[in-house]
Amino acid sequence: MTPAKTRPALLGGLVIGVLSALPVINLANCCCAWILFGGALAAYLMQQNHPEPVQIGDGAIAGLLAGSIGAVVWLIVSIPISAVMAPLQSEMSQRMLRNASDMAPELRSLLESMQGGPAIGLGLLFGFFLMLFVSTLFGMLGGLFGALMFRKSQPPVIPPPIPPTTF
């Protein structure tokens, strides 16, 4: 009997997506910590809901699903955060451009063109595909490690009693 992977993957993906999208908390994701954590969480939850020890492959699949769900959640959470942060980022880049008087005109025009809404949308689209690739890979690794770490031990096998022999 294979363990259910849907609910653990949804919860692990929710953790991956939200923690990876929040502005200050996402700094811990530089080494994919939140993604590994979400994959391991999916494997842990899957093991807790299953009476028998889960297989390592099941943990890897749950982590992979959690990573792909996490990328979608990341995109959904990142859109409003980017909308809120866009004026602040625009002001900072304009201030940087005003203070950099010796900047090459080509670079200045490139940086000015990257301040608009289409550039933010393209950045989110590129970020989504990058997040999808990285989170499925590292979520799978987290699920694999989680299945190894949180695996229930096998019940001991009691051999059948030896029938008495008479001589």
Instruction: Print pLDDT tens along the chain (167 aa).
Output: 678 899 999 999 999 999 999 988 888 888 889 999 999 999 999 999 988 889 999 999 999 999 999 999 999 999 999 888 888 877 877 787 777 777 787 877 777 777 666 777 888 899 999 999 999 999 999 999 999 999 988 777 888 888 888 76
Q: What kind and span of H or E run contains 119? A: helix 117-149
Whole-prediction pTM: 0.81
Provide the residue type at 73 as one letter: V
Structure tokens at 133: 């690739």
- Kindly list the domain boundaries of the chain, sorted by start residue: 6-98+121-149
In the 8-state DSSP scheme, what is residue 58? H
CA angle 52/57/62 to nearest 5° reads: 85
- Give the pLDDT of residue 116: 67
- Give the pLDDT of residue 121: 83
> In whole angstroms, how large is the CA radius of gyration of the chain?
24
Query: Does residue 144 contact residue 44 with C-beta atoms inside 8 Å?
Result: no
